[in-house]
Structure 1
Amino acid sequence: TQAAANFSDGYQQKIASNDNVIFKHLLSSYSTAQQTRVSNSLIVGQILGILLLGVVSDGWSRKAGIVFTSTMVVLGSLMATVALSVRSYGINNMIWYLTIARGVAGVGVGGEFPPSASAVSEGMDDHNARNRGPVFVFATTFVTCWGGPICILVYLLTLIASNDNLQKSYIAVNAISIFLPIFVFFFRIRMRDSRLFKTSNFKSTSTTSIPLGLILKRYWLRLLGTGGAFFLYDFINFPNSIMSSVIINSLVPGKNLRTVAIWQFILALMTLPGVLAGMYLVNRIGRRWTGIAGFAGYLLVGLIVGASYAQLSAVIPAFVVLYGLMQSLGHMGPGSTLGLVSTESYPTAVRGTCYAISAALGKTGAAVGTEAFTPIKEHLGQRWTFFIAAIVGAVGMAVYWFLIEDMTDAKLAEQDVEFERYLRECGWGGSLGKVVEEEVEG
């Protein structure tokens, strides 16, 4: 169920890339400001959803949070699908309507992360703690990455079937995004919270305040590490993913729609080998070194592409291979490990909230990166977007080395016991958890 939901989220995150190309050709005017607004709308919604659902998933229920997110994704996707019907009120009004619609979907997509990531991590710790890392990466990053290529494939097939009818292509791509979360919804209403969550949570502290000060005192450095690494990764990954269609569109002679879509599809597929490598490495060399290796890829490939951009841009296959390699290495390293370390680094009672803070900082980085992408390209040149990726890669390596604790062999239940002992020693008088029920998460 979690994997299917993450596939839906990956599909949602790629829609803006297709929309940017469609609107460039379909609308009489589509400014860089409007382009950035559409791209950022999902991200801003994600930040709100992450923070809201992080609190809900810890204070109420993982299941309740997950059901709510599916509802929001369906509503936002439905609104976005009919956006072209608002075109008669003016292009600018249509873009604002779409911005709101994508923001609503973003609340659901972002809200998905804290409860689902926590549920996957806790569920695996219940059943097979040793393989918690690889299974987590598969159910989250790997499945999410499949959403992108499928979204582009749907776009390409509808272009072919409709003889390049952009309006029909837009509706088809967005309409499918409605049915994916509906499919997931019916499974989610039957799921149950994990055993770990039932035995370690703040739901029973109605008469005692939650010790936020003690939580921050113990985990502020870890939050700085996971949040900082998330910010750096999404600062590079999101704009390079969303704006990849714009970059390729500018390089393809004649800007042929199908040719651009084919190169987009190939580029999106190239992230998958990186995630497979990440699944293998998270246990083999550990979370920290896997993350460092991925950021090192940003440093190395970013410098190569930036230094030789003039030559590479004239040979599209060579450019796509190196561009795809950079994206693949990013997904291998921080892309595969950040969600994992952001759930493993914190006890069950605050896992959703601490993950939410980390991921929200990441989406803030995505918004800042997307806003900065076009000005950097216009004032410094496209090559500097890759040089900056290299600089961020170097900083990301340092963050992983100094601030990320490797939790490869950690036992989540033991961490919960240590957390409760710490609270008791500091004088907190509340209680964690409730009686364990026989039924656990399905």
Structure 2
Amino acid sequence: MNMLIFGYTSDHYSRKWSLFASTVILIAFAALSAGSYGAGGSSSGLFAALTAWRFLLGIGIGGEYPAGSVGCAESTGELKSGTRNRWFILFTNVQIDIGFVVSALVPMIVVLITGENHLRAAWRICLGLGVIPPLSLLYLRLKLNEPEAYRRETMAKAKTPWLLVIKFYWWRLTIVSLIWFIYDFSGYSFSLFSSTIVDNLLGDNSPLWKSFGWTTLIYLFYLPGCIGGSFVSDWLGPKMTLGIGVLAQGIVGFIMAGVYSYLAHPQNVAGFVIVYGVFLALGEFGPGDNIGLIASKSCATAVRGQYYGIAAAIGKIGAFVGDQVLAILYNRYKDTDPIKAGQYPFFVSSALCILSAGIAFFLLPHIGQDTIDEEDVKFRAYLAENGYDVSQMGVQRESAEHIVGQTEVEGGNEVTEKVSKA
């Protein structure tokens, strides 16, 4: 819901102010989450308050996706050709993956400081620290300018021809959304599931900080995958990079499922973490880096926020479905056959990775360095051919003419004054 709302506002109002609004929401509800309190000190009231604040916090997080990513994609058009994909990825997916690492590292440090007898303080500290990153960006986002492509192509002051938009983009949006659904099905659900797997390998008596420590190490594997993928995306293109990465991930996943009986022992936890880390790194190398880039660049600027928001929202549905499905598989066998409990989620995820690779290779469009400008030209031509008045698009001419006229008047007055003095 939040991605759809902010996708709409980023197209019809402003990229800048949509992003600024999401930042304010993040700051406010991260702080309220840390200060959650139940009436009369009740635990049920505490969890009700925490659930409400975290729900509203999620709206702010979702707003970052369409408003931030599409603005970033449009801004890369002003950079040197041949480097645009990597800069987009370095400022989007790489930052998300660094966030995953920090999300496990910070609790580990806090729990080591407070001890497991003071977890009441530890969780509030961890949630409270979440205020710092968006707060540090607030001033910068206030000074942010709208991308040139948005100023040139926006339909903010015009009626959007939805039937034409759907006819032009429905198939491409379906393919992008399907790949994002599959990626989040395995990527996000496994990231949530990893702590459960690690706890199972370490045993019930392992200290909490150790579980966070191994989870941090697992998340660190994201970084070589996403950073390496950012450069390969410029060399091979997002389509090929995504397909190669997710195909390799599927192969590694099947191998991991096959040898899981050897890895599923506490003495082999290091081997498990390495193989599992490679599995996750390949996911970031391929779809993690490139699905957001493709969603940002495979449609016209005028509807980019909504297009991206729909694809991202379907991806998050995939994360929810994947979390439920993998949990059902794991819980069904964890007491009777722990090996199957670990194997089956990898079999399911790996099969979907292979499917995703096939879709990427054969159905995704080519994304080049100048795709944003090329897509805008194609979309304008399509609208004009179908009777839409494309002169409505972009920053309103009246505003520009007013500014130019005002400048000419001021310049004329200055000349008159100089002539009079002479």
Which category of TM-score, normalised to the shorter sequence, fits these structures? Answer: 0.7 to 0.9
Residue number in structure 1 paired with 2:410: none
Counterpart-to-counterpart distance in 1, 2:132 and 2:327: 33
Deviation (angstroms), 1:124? 1.3
Partner of 2:131: 178
2:199 is the counterpart of 1:238: no
Spell out, residue by residue over 1:318-357, the C-alpha distance to the aligned partner (whole angstroms, 9 max, x if none). Answer: 1111111111100000000011110110111011111111
Aligned to 1:95: 47
Could you tell me whether the CA contact under 8 Å between 1:75 and 1:104 is conserved in 2?
no
TM-score between both structures, scaled by the size of structure 2: 0.88
| Counterpart for residue 368 of structure 2 | 408
Alignment match, 1:118? 70
Runs of 4+ displaced beyond 6 Å:
none
Structure 2 runs not aligned, ≥5 long:
334-340, 404-422
Q: 1:23 is matched with which residue? A: none
Note the aligned Cα RMSD (angstroms): 1.8
Verify the 8 A CA contact 2:298 2:371 in the aligned structure 1: no
Residues 295 and 307, structure 2, Cα contact 8 Å, conserved in 1: yes
- Name 2:31's counterpart in structure 1: 78
Match of 2:103 in 1: 151
Normalised by the length of structure 1, the TM-score is 0.84
Structure 2 CA distance for partners of 1:163 and 1:379, relative to 1, 3 Å: closer
- Asked if 1 retains the 8 angstrom alpha-carbon contact of 2:30 and 2:130, the reply is yes
Q: Percent identity?
A: 25
Deviation string, structure 1 residues 105-125 (Cα, Å, up to 9, x no partner): 111111111111111111110
Alpha-carbon distance in structure 1 between the residues aligned to 2:318 and 2:360: 17
Give the aligned partner of residue 433 of structure 1: 394
Residue equivalent to 1:255: 206
Mapped to 2, the partners of 1:69 and 1:273 lie a distance apart of 29
2:319 corresponds to 1:352? no
Q: What displacement does 1:274 show?
A: 0.3
Q: Residues 221 and 403 of structure 1 are in contact (CA less than 8 Å); yes or no, is this contact kept in structure 2?
A: no
Structure number with greater Rg is 2
Contact residue 126 and residue 196 of structure 1 kept, 8 A: no
Question: What is the match of residue 167 of structure 1?
Answer: 120
More moved, 297-306 vs 281-290: 297-306
Alignment of 1:18-417 (within 5 A): 48-83=1-36, 85-86=37-38, 90-164=42-116, 165-205=118-158, 209-253=159-203, 254-314=205-265, 315-380=268-333, 381-417=341-377
Task: Return the alpha-carbon distance in structure 1 between the equivalents of residues 282 and 231 of structure 2.
Answer: 13
Displacement of 1:128 in angstroms is 2.6
Displacement of 1:89 in angstroms is 5.4
CA distance in 1, matches of 2:189, 2:66: 22
88 and 377 in structure 1: CA distance in 2 versus 1, 3 angstrom threshold: farther
Alpha-carbon separation, structure 1, partners of 2:249 and 2:55: 29
Say whether the 8 Å CA contact 2:12–2:156 is kept in structure 1.
yes
Deviation at residue 426 of structure 1 after TM alignment: 0.6
